Chain A
Amino acid sequence: MHSYLHIDNAKMVFDTKKGKFTALTDINLDVKQGEFIALIGHSGCGKSTLLNLVAGLTEPTQGVLLLSDKEIKGPGPERGVVFQNHSLLPWLTCFGNVYLAVERVFGAKEPKSKLKERTQAALELVGLSHAIHKHPNEISGGMKQRVGIARALAMEPKVLLLDEPFGALDALTRAGLQDELMRIVKETQATTLMVTHDVDEAVLLSDRIVMMTNGPSATIGEILEVDLPRPRDRLKLAENPAYHHLRGQVLEFLYQKHLKKAA
């Protein structure tokens, strides 16, 4: 099988004040183009660390990561990232934050009016038309996350890296954005890696669920194929026994085999 994203024996060791800390080890993963991967695991196991490696923000201590047969040597605009802590620039408005990304990707070949249109469309998509000229300190945590999502989507990236993008959202907004995400990914054929804590979300959205063991020296414990037909409808899935079976398997991995030791 030819893989689009290829992670070979990656290992990540951090230098800390108390010496070396091995966060990830023996990470092997192949992702096909257009595939949707959910990364799930207990807090602190190294999901963000893995995502940062793919984003090119950090380099592995050992091993290689290839993206369409080229080694990942740094970040690139073909990889859109939604950060776990949203990372908006506080001195720019919501519009300004998204525009910065749009300008970078499309600025060379499109007029300003088109760039503004794209920015507006991206913010509309996440339901923030009304807050377009507010600064990040004037909006709620969930709204900030949505601006972060809009910023990544507006770049129309080939690879979407999402670090708990819906973590701070209420169930209703979350469901709406999950549906949007499914639609966008289908439309753009983006290859997606999404970190989540939510078992339902993982099963609903992904083609495969990568389940990670607990750190330190975390690695990939199991990979679960989610062979539910698309398009998926959350209400219909609720009556689907296959859905419940998959859900059960993830839960079993998380809470039986890798129960987080009480700290």
Chain B
Amino acid sequence: MSAVTINENSLKDIMNSPDTTPLPAAVSVAEARPTPFLQTERGLAFAEAIGKFFRAVLPPILGIALFILLWQMVSVSGGESGLPGPAKTWESAKLLFADPFYDNGPNDKGIGWNILHSLYRVGAGFGLAALVGIPLGFMIGRFQFLSGMASPIISLLRPVSPLAWLPIGLYVFKETEPASLWVIFISSIWPIILNTAAGVSRVPQDYLNVARVLNLSEWKIFTRILFPSVLPHLMTGIRLSIGVAWLVIVAAEMLTGGTGLGFWVWDEWNNLNVEHILIAIFIVGIVGLLLEQVLVMIANRFNYE
């Protein structure tokens, strides 16, 4: 660094320091023209940070702006009966979120309630799937025989479209609430089972050798080696599974009615409130994105490599 890089702050430091004799030398320093801020070290760092910020933020903003523009064009080209435009939808959303938790009886609840209901169903259905799927995945991964038994059934049932399970649920449970949990359960259990099993069968031989050389008990093998080693795979399974559950819940609620985002979408369609349908799509997208982000964050905590 050259000796000239003295900015205002460091000048002040020099002036205020008790060692500085406030006479000739200091005066001459004060008279020297300070280097322009952007050429100082801090200035350069600042410029760099700004540049980085723009490179990271500019493309998404541009993308979103373009998307809104396209939306506007589509809505304008539709004329009177076209899709509501961004501005109109925004106004409607502001109204909707002004009071998200009102409750006027069973079929008229605030948007907040509907979101919470959908989230609750995803949580409950997924929780059941995890409760059953994780142990099952461990056993299938650990025992070749079980894997052989389970694989034809899993291969057969996994590609079935989630909603095809709904009638079975309705028939068995005679009620819509457990039926929609059942649909979430059955459609989100496969990623959990498969990823857990894959994780177990892929525990590095080195770690198992350590277990054998140390002669660890089955319990210690599970808690110290199998479980931590499978955890990243398990997290992937959970992420996929919650993703599927969130995809499915909206569709299931459209059919079962009552509460929830899916029900709300269908209800607003019956009211021909297209703005609300658009808002619902954004809500579903944003909540799904948030779920995914939280799970990725948790998963990264368990990454040891």
Contacts and interface: CB of A to CB of B under 8 A. Distances in A.
Contact of A87 (B206, B216, B229, B304): B206
Given A89-B225, A92-B224, A100-B224, A55 B304 contact: no
A89 B228 contact: yes
Contacts of B213: 55, 57, 75, 79-81
Given A87-B206, A89-B210, A91-B228, A104 B216 contact: yes
Interface in A67-101: 74-77, 79-81, 83, 85, 87, 89-92, 100-101
Contact of B214 (A92, A104, A135, A137): A104
A100 B209 contact: no
A100 B206 CA distance: 16
B17 interface: no
A85 B210 CA distance: 11
Q: Is the interface of B mostly helix, strand, loop or mixed?
A: helix
Contacts of A135: 304
Given A100-B224, A135-B304, A87 B212 contact: no
Nearest to A74: B212
Q: Is the interface of A mostly helix, strand, loop or mixed?
A: loop
Contacts of B209: 57, 83, 87
Name the interface size band of chain A.
20 to 34
B215 A76 contact: yes
B228 A77 contact: no
A87 B210 contact: yes
A80 B210 CA distance: 10
A90 B304 contact: yes
A243 B41 CA distance: 61
B218 interface: no
B215 A77 contact: yes
Interface of A: 55-57, 74-77, 79-81, 83, 85, 87, 89-92, 100-101, 104, 135, 137, 155
Given A89-B228, A137-B304, A137-B305, 13 more contacts: A55-B213, A56-B212, A75-B212, A75-B215, A83-B206, A87-B206, A91-B228, A91-B229, A91-B304, A92-B224, A104-B214, A104-B215, A104-B216
The list of the 6 closest CB pairs from A to B, nearest first, reads A90-B304, A91-B228, A87-B206, A75-B213, A75-B212, A81-B213
